[in-house]
Chains A and B, each alone.
Chain A
């Protein structure tokens, strides 16, 4: 199987594992995180840390609702966001969300508390992997993206490469860390620790194709129930990262959850950049050559 450079970097790509060189491989596996049933219990965060032996990330009360782990990082591979929203009362529509009665809040607003468990997106086009000089980051046979701690040299190129701000260097350790989608469990036929621990099946693990079908049905059902804001995020193979291996059902704009609205793989423009660089280099060569040729005249 051969791939064009565009396919390899940014264009829709159906089979990233094949692109990575696996001739025979299992189906692409991923996460569908349905935030509409997340209860914010943080069992995913704890199960992830337990399984992967991740160090404690600091004992700071942030005041950001019930979110004290702030965001994904080297020591937080699952992160539950808590968003307290007071929105205009849409009393007529039952969103499957509690509506605080009129007058409950000032200005007739209703309250909702969004919870969402975030994780590495395991992009189809993973810039972190593309820029890694040591091969520490690699594509697994499941189509997921894993960083190997015994190879990482701590150069940190992957950190700005990630369009989601997921991967990070651990202070005092120096190496880059992120979700492995529990690669060590997948190989043994187990589901990742977070999905296993999730009591409400907000985190679902499985073949990506199946998850996408299930997600489409769920979002339709929510629309039918009146939750017109429900949407999928990261499910589209035509998006800026070629679709995510870990995608989400959100109940509001991605920005509300701290997610970039239109992420683009940072290596997308590499061919164009190199082409321009090549043109510029060729021009320079031509100019220099012309100068020399001119001298001989």
Chain B
């Protein structure tokens, strides 16, 4: 956090000054470790084992927060009898189909009820149910076949089907609590120490600090850099933390939570108003071409009948009204048919593959430098070289804009400039100080920034670019319409664009669209054009317009709420008048959990929200994340729907059951509970199960994307070391914002690798000299930094060396070097399509890498020695002793 979020780290330092214990869990000793009270240098890729050990510690020693867990989590729910755990299946859960590499989650469900997820793979539930309704309950094969084509995600749903059986005593052998207890029983301190390469004492120290600092009087927060998700089990990493925090009662309370430190300013904003392929604003799912044929079908497949997702129809209709205005009417389903549709996964890496295959013609790169920053950057460049056109919007002439003339493949002779047909348009971008706009931070807080200076030359904001691009396209289409009579197909095709509300006022000599007008549209209006103040005002009848339901009210009363900057010292400690946090300016989500089931604070020290019996409403320091007048003793009638179906003591209002999920009956692609799997490429065998890697991980076998043999597979010794990639404080991601700046470049002027003295001695690496690193994808060179901050770990009696590689560099700019991400494989977490950047394998040798064709030859020689084929590393199911 000190490395990548130095400004945010000031609050950690402030907490430390006030007595907080700072624990840093990271394979590397970083600037964060230097200031932490405890540093745990675990082996890269073993966090589920470490956290699983903590869960086992909490459960086996009865250190969990009993009242909180009983009332607020799904611990009492009883799981179906035919559910099988990793304990039974040596690392697999029931429902896995090896052919399709997909899980059918039917057996994971509660006894007596099925429940849809509020987030994640929501289609699992919808598909399951349609099949069920069609009398195909046993046709698991067909379901998983369908599941393999489904890619919609985001949050929604939360629907019950039936009533789950519960055991409030938590004694039933199949209740979630007991299932969890058995599942994590093997994560003993001894095993954790073995798998993670740490000492039992280290583990105990963290376990003691964590449990001593949780409960009624105290709370513990987890903060993670998004590298925590960069694993083939990335979502399950966060799930493990969530289970632990729920067991300790650290969710929905001040000082608790799991805080994602996003990798770039407003990455939170870019998921809320998404740049992702499978969600619409406010986490509404993107409709699927073959599944959601009409608005009713779309909503009924995804909306929950209970909880706030029950209002998804109002959110969706208001979004469509914001986009298509008066044209959107009940008669035409509010232009639902205009929305783009998914046909398969259109994730970043799927797109790269399509580019290489030649089925993706054009590409926009906006503040992104895949020729340096994306996994297997070499494969990315082959994709870019195979386009018809490419638009690059960036501050500087990044490698992704110049690969066609000076990329590594030009040097190696694999590509020639004359043969690359990609037409590249480079458009200089304005920086954040050169434009108005908002940032949304990890607390979901929107903060407005005002333009300080005009952009220079041709530099323009993204808003300017997209607004005028849309304007010009619309003019062209409209011109075509008036000039000639379009065919009905053309007219039909162009209508969604021509009917868009595209009428933002512009300002100044460059005709910059008014950013506040965009915010006002996102926040929404009622039928009379008055600004909305709450998403509860949104209607299904088309009378409201709102560009993103969770941002509704950010422009309440016609005032830019996100521009509020009342100093903290002039208001309460929660500082509600600084910026604006979605939803409804709530600063802590699910804050009903900060009070006990009866509505009283868990302790005076941690009082945050409580039920005022006289006023008959929830009061406290924050906006209640709960119906303000719903009493704690409210019990929903059996036929209640939407938010009315949530009881007065059920804080998790987005979930259909109102509870925090210790166990996930549906919504995850790789199991209802986390299990430790080794990274897709690992030098060691999984000590926990016969199953080596996440069986549901997505693999991309391709000649440009070969995988190393893993675990005990012969050939894994050819790539014996673990490497982990990361960022330095001095640079920004793929370097587009930092490598051209002299003041930053001089602080970290060159690409380097960090190795331990032991590895340096073993491989003859010289401090300050050069090393060559080889993976099945590429060979790169780096200057060597020998440091005791890198530490070998002992796993199963073997010494494993870990190599640190900051990934900022490329050939352009002031500070240059090879890109570490050349080495990375494309293999993805099945839930969110994230790549593993933190734990992969390579070899390291002294000296510089070969030039020209010899560079590729070196990579191929390694592949031959390791016996790598197209199948290597792609196996789904493994048993002890190698692939089955």
Interface residues of A (CB under 8 A from B): 37, 39-43, 45-46, 49-50, 55-61, 63, 65-66, 68-69, 84, 86, 94, 96-105, 111-115, 199-201
- Besides A59-B814, A98-B29, A111-B789, 20 more A-B contacts (Cβ < 8 Å) are A39-B34, A41-B31, A45-B747, A56-B742, A56-B743, A59-B746, A63-B768, A66-B728, A68-B746, A86-B788, A98-B34, A98-B36, A100-B29, A100-B41, A101-B201, A101-B202, A104-B41, A199-B10, A200-B9, A201-B13
Q: How far is the CB of B133 from chain A (nearest CB, A)?
A: 57
26 of the cross-chain contacts (CB-CB < 8 Å) are A37-B13, A39-B32, A40-B31, A41-B729, A45-B747, A46-B747, A56-B743, A57-B746, A61-B749, A61-B750, A61-B752, A63-B767, A63-B785, A68-B747, A68-B749, A84-B788, A84-B789, A100-B29, A100-B41, A101-B199, A102-B201, A105-B788, A105-B791, A111-B29, A113-B31, A200-B10
Residues of B within 8 A of A104 (CB): 41, 791
Closest Cβ of chain A: how far from B279's Cβ, in Å? 33
CB pair B24–A98 under 8 Å, yes or no, is yes
In the complex, chain B residues whose CB is within 8 Å of the CB of A40: 2, 31, 34, 729
Residues of A within 8 A of B729 (CB): 40-42
- In the assembly, what is the distance between CA of A266 and CA of B213, in Å? 54
Q: Contact between B814 and A98 (Cβ–Cβ < 8 Å)?
A: no
A199 x B747 contact (CB < 8 A) = no
> Of B9, B39, B745, B748, which contacts A199 at CB under 8 A?
B9
- Please indicate the chain A residues that have their CB under 8 angstroms from the CB of B767 in the complex: 63
Docked CA distance A65–B815 (Å): 18
The distance in angstroms between the C-alpha atoms of A129 and B745, with both chains bound, is 33
Residue contact A113 to B814, C-beta cutoff 8 Å: no
Interface contact A68-B748, CB-CB below 8 Å: yes
Q: Report Cα–Cα, A101/B791, bound state, in Å.
A: 12
Closest to A57 in B: B746
| A-side interface mostly | loop
| Given A86-B788, A96-B37, CB of A39 within 8 Å of CB of B31 | yes
Smallest Cβ distance from A206 to chain B, in angstroms?
Answer: 18
**Contacting pair B788 A39 (CB below 8 A):** no
* Distance A96 CA – B33 CA, assembled complex (angstroms): 11
Judge whether B749 and A112 touch: CB under 8 Å: no
Decide if B730 is an interface residue (CB 8 Å cutoff): yes
Q: Are B34 and A115 in contact (CB under 8 A)?
A: yes
Contacts A37-B13, A59-B814 known; A65 to B39 CB distance under 8 Å?
A: no
Which residues of the partner chain A approach B16 to less than 8 Å between Cβ atoms?
96
Q: Does B75 contact A (CB under 8 A)?
A: no
Q: List B747-786 residues whose CB lies under 8 Å from chain A.
A: 747-750, 752, 767-768, 783, 785
Instruction: For A36, give the chain B residue with the smallest CB separation.
Output: B35
Least CB distance from B877 to A in Å reads 36
Check if A46 sits within 8 Å of B743, measured CB to CB.
Answer: yes
Closest-by-CB residue of A relative to B40 is A101
* Bound Cα distance A108, B730 (Å): 32
Q: Indicate whether B744 reaches chain A with its CB closer than 8 angstroms.
A: yes
A93 to chain B, nearest CB (A): 12
Minimum CB distance partner of A47 in chain B: B743
Q: Which of A105, A111, A115, A199 contacts B7 (CB 8 A)?
A: A199
Closest chain A residue, CB of each to CB of B201: A101
Residue B636 lies at the interface, judged by CB distance under 8 Å to chain A: no
Asked if B787 is at the interface (CB within 8 A of a chain A CB), the reply is yes
Which residues on B sit within 8 Å (CB–CB) of A97? 34, 37
Interface centre among A39, A111, A114 (most CB of B within 10 A): A39
B 292-310 contacts with A by CB, 8 A? none
Q: Does B38 belong to the interface (CB within 8 Å)?
A: yes
Given the known interface contacts A40-B34, A98-B24, A98-B36, the answer about A113 and B746 at a Cβ–Cβ threshold of 8 Å is no
Complex interface: chain B residues within 8 A of A112 (CB) = 34
A142 CA to B160 CA in the complex, in Å? 71
User: In the complex, what residues of B have CB within 8 A of residue A84's CB?
Assistant: 787-789
Question: How far, in whole Å, are A111 and B791 apart by their CA atoms in the complex?
Answer: 11
**A residues near B730, Cβ cutoff 8 Å:** 42
A76 to B24, CA, bound (A): 32
Q: Is B6 an interface residue (CB 8 A)?
A: yes
A219 to B728, CA, bound (A): 30
Q: Report B-chain residues with C-beta under 8 Å of the C-beta of A86.
A: 788
Taken together as a complex, chains A and B put the C-alpha atoms of A58 and B783 apart, in Å, by 17
